[in-house]
Amino acid sequence: MTTSPERVVGDPFIGITMAERYRLDRLIGRGGMASVYRADDLLLHRPVAVKVFGAAAEGTDDRDRRASEIALLASLSHRALVRLYDAGHDPSTGREFLVMELVEGRDLREALRLGPLCSREAAAMLSDLAEALHAIHDRGIVHRDIKPANVLLEPANVPGRTWNAKLADFGIARLIDDARLTSTGLLVGTPGYVSPEQVTGAVPAPPADVYALGLLVLEARTQQAAFPGPAAESASARLVRDPVVPPELGDDWVALLRAMTAREPAERPTALEVVVAASALDVSERSDAAQTATTIAFAGAAETPTVAMTGAGTSVADDVATVRMPGEPRPDATGEGSTRVLTVPGSNSSEATPEPQPGPAHTPSRDTRRPRRTARIAVLALVAAVAATLLWILVAPLVAPPTAAPEPLPSVPGELGVHLEQLDEAVTP
C-alpha cells in the first residue's frame, strides 16, 4: 500500500493505493460489509470500482484458491453482469478487495427513493437480472446477496429504454472463503432479502437467489420492503409468513412473484423459467377499474351532462386523458360555444357511440335527412287539410246564420192570382 498526498481526513482508504495498483479517489457507497470506491487503475489507466471489505473478511492467504475463483468469475460475460477484473488481499491494511467494472449511473436503492417502477421498467429489469442469474447458476455460482444496492442502472443508448440493469457482487462468498465466513457465524446476505433456507443455516443454492430476486422486484413495484424492521425480526419473519403481493399488480405478476417467493425451494421456478415468464408479463398501466373509458361532455349552456362511450386506441396518445375546460375553444371550434370533455382511458371501441358535436362538420349528415323530412312534412300538411275540411262540413250547419224570410209574392188579380197563392202555400213549410 502506498499513500497519496491527497488522502482525505476521515476515511482511511481515500487516497491510498491498494496492492500498489488501484488508487482510491472517492467513496461511492458504503454497506454493512464493505465500502465501494471510485479508483484509477494505474497499470491500465482506466477508471474502476474497488470494493474494500470490512475487518470480518480478513485473513485469507490462499492465493492459489483466490486466483482460481477470480479466473472463474472473470470468465463470465453477460450484458447484465458487472464485470469482475481483479480481486486481492492488501497486506498493509489486511483487507480483501474486488476490482470491478465502473458503471456510470445509480443503483436501484437510489431509484426507488423517487417512486416505484412501472410495470414496463420492472419487467425489463426482471428479465435482465434473471438472465444474469441463469448465467452464473449455469457455472455453479450462487450470488447470495441480491438487494437493491447491488443492482446498478446504467443509462441505455437505445430508444424506448431508460436504462439497463446490471447485477454486481456475484461470487463474493467464494472469494472470501465461504467456510471461514460461516464458521464465524456471519450470515452472507442482507437480512431483508435472504431466503428462508439461509435463515435456518442451510447452504444456499440457486433457488435462494430466485427468492431474493422475487422480493427485490416486489419492492420495485410497490416501493415497500416485504420484510422491514431490525435484522433478526426481518430474517425470521419469512419463516412464518409469505410476502404480501398486492392483487393490484395484476394476475400474472401476482402468480410469478408468489412462485418466486415460495417458502419451499423446490416450488420456485428456475432463473431461466423466470426469464420466459417475464417476457409474457402484462406491462400496461391500466387497473381493472379503468378497462372501459367514459367520455362526459358538458355543454356550455346545458344543465344535464350527456354521457357517451368512446374507444381507447392502441397508441400512447389515445391512452392520455383529454380535459377541455369551459371557455377553451376546440381545435375545430367555430366560436359558437365551448365544451369540457373528460376522456377516461380504456374503453371498448365496439360499444362506442360517437358524441354529437356542433359545427359544420355535421352538416352533411343533416343534408342526407332533408328529403325524408320534407316528405314527412307534406304528408302531415295534407292530413291536416283533410281533417279541417271534414270538421268544417260537420260543424258549419250548426254555426251558419239563419236564412232571411222570403219576400211575399206580388198580388195578382183574377184567377191567376188565386192559383199563385195556392202554389205558395203548398211549398211554404
Phi, psi of 365 (to 5 degrees): -70, -30
188: cell is 452472507
Amino acid letter, residue 108: L
Over its C-alpha atoms, the chain yields an Rg (Å, rounded) of 45
82: cell is 458487472
Q: What would the DSSP string read from start to end of 279-293?
A: HTS------GGGSS-
Among 86, 145, 169, 209, the one annotated catalytic: 145
**Rounded Cα gap, residues 261 and 243, in angstroms:** 7
Q: What would the DSSP string read from start to end of 286-319?
A: --GGGSS-EEEEEESS-SS-EEEE----SSTGGG
Active site annotation includes 145: yes
Strand, coil or helix: what is 67? helix
What's 340-353 look like in SS3?
A: EEEECCCCCHHHCC
81: DSSP letter: B
273: cell is 423459467
- Bridge partners (DSSP) listed for residue 319: none
Amino acid letter, residue 248: E
Positions annotated as catalytic residues are 145
